[in-house]
Structures are given as structure tokens and as C-alpha cells.
Amino acid sequence: MPEIRVGRFAAEKITAEHGPRRSATGQPSEWDFWSGPLAAALIGFRDFENLPFDLHPEIRTLHIVDPVFGVVVFVGVLLEQGVIEIADFSTDPDYWKMIGDDPTD
């Protein structure tokens, strides 16, 4: 089983975007991100070899749909044989608005 690491850039981005505590308006904290979509990504990247890639097979993406954060796209990089780093992630800030606009049928 490969070793999955969270890269420094991704870890700092989580802290910058979410902060250490939930906000008074209900915005999630960095702990919520680490224990939700990032935990799922750590498991998902175990199957690195079967994840899709575009031009470079050492760079793969993983899409996680989380009930709090919506769709989160993670980027994993094969650093060396058996070592994968979650290097970055992105979210869609309009995801919940888009879902709310879907028809009910």
C-alpha cells in the first residue's frame, strides 16, 4: 500500500481557507476539512494507479463529494515509487447554489 502524504502547500491552503474554528455563521473549520474530504482523499489515493490522469501519469486527480464542502478536487503527485503527496485541492464555491437550482424531478 502506498504512503499518502499531505503536502505543505495543501496543508497551508486548508488553514488559510478555513481557519482553526467554525465561524459564527456556520462556516466549517480546518478540522472539518481534515476529518471530512481530506480523510476521504487519503483513502482514495491508495488506488493511485487506477485514478485518471491527463498528460503525466505521475499526477492524478480525485473528486470527493462531501456533504459540507461540496465537490472537492484533489491533486496527487507520485513523488517516488510508493509515495504520493496530496499537493493541492480546489472547491467550487457555487456548488450548493447550483444544486439548489436543479429541478426536483
Above pLDDT 70, what percent of the chain?
95
Instruction: Calculate mean pLDDT across residues 11-33.
Output: 90
Going from N- to C-terminal start, the domains of the chain cover: 3-100
Report the percentage of the chain scoring pLDDT > 90. 73
Nearest to 73 by CA among 59, 88, 84: 88
Domain 3-100 has CATH 1.10.12: no
Please write the tens of the pLDDT for every residue from 47-68: 999 999 999 999 999 999 999 9
Say whether pLDDT at 17 is over 60: yes
- Mean of pLDDT values over 20-37: 90
Q: Inform me whether the pLDDT recorded for 74 exceeds 70.
A: yes
| CA–CA dist 30, 11 (Å, integer) | 9
- First and final C-alpha spacing in the chain: 42
